[in-house]
Amino acid sequence: MTERGSKIAVVTGAGSGIGRAVAVELLRTGWSVALAGRRTGTLQETAALAPEAAALAVRADVARPDDVAALFAATVERFGQVDLLFNNAGTFGPGGVPVEELPYDAWRHVVDTNLNGAFLCAQAAYRQMKEQDPQGGRIINNGSISAHTPRPHSVAYTATKHALTGLTKSLSLDGRPYGIAVGQIDIGNAATDMTARMQTGALQASGEVAPEPVMDVADVARTVRHMAELPLGANVQFATVLATAMPYVGRG
């Protein structure tokens, strides 16, 4: 949030899951939010969860430069500025596919969405935050636990999430002269449609299939809001929020 006191956010992937939860949390606590996603209907459903708030639904594919440019232009036209980008849009790609069988088109789709899309949105946000008066703002990238540790058969997703950590660090460094704070949240097993299979059985490194605990996605949303509402002189560089008993720390 900038010192001007306004709270204007862009949330990508806002039509479902973590993006929807974060967008609704921001809307309910006084932010105005541009909701970005590929399906207008789901974005409108997100906006309807906070009907009294100021929401703008913008259909955008983050992997398309023209869509990203139009998203930020619409946001500035409606709200005048951008204080926060939650860079959340992403895809896991085809599940359970060994690396030697992964089609190149599937690899490219994951890279285009998770990495190229995050770059394009961060670049557009950076440009706006640098140009607006006063300068500054915040970018929060959704990194995932896979930014640290992979699951079996997740080469494309894991590679992009590791790359996102490098993007976060580079943007954070380059943003310093302009009051642009950049951080990353790495999330493990938030209860969404994407993680529904975790509760019934997920492939483990041992080759076994076992159910895993999940956490309320609202806890992720509150963490993002905490990061977002810090003064620009303070930054959560990296935060990890995960289901307490998920198989991540240690060996099982």
Q: What is the pLDDT of residue 2?
A: 38
**Alpha carbon 194 to chain centroid, angstroms:** 14
3-state secondary structure of 98: coil
Query: What are the residue numbers of the active site?
Result: 157
- The residues, ordered by sequence, that sit 6+ positions from 167 with a Cβ below 8 Å of its Cβ are 115, 118, 119, 122, 141
Domains of the chain: 8-242 (3.40.50.720)
Residue 116 DSSP label: I
- Average model confidence (pLDDT) across the chain: 92
Residue 230, Cβ density class (10 Å: 0-12 exposed, 13-18 middle, ≥19 buried):
middle
pTM of the complete model: 0.91
H or E element, residue 179: none
Express each pLDDT in 54-93 by its tens digit.
Answer: 999 999 999 999 999 999 999 999 999 999 999 999 998 8
State mean pLDDT over 106-122. Answer: 97
Which residues pair with residue 180 across a beta bridge?
137
* pLDDT at residue 1 tops 50: no
Express each pLDDT in 161-180 by its tens digit.
Answer: 999 999 999 999 999 999 99
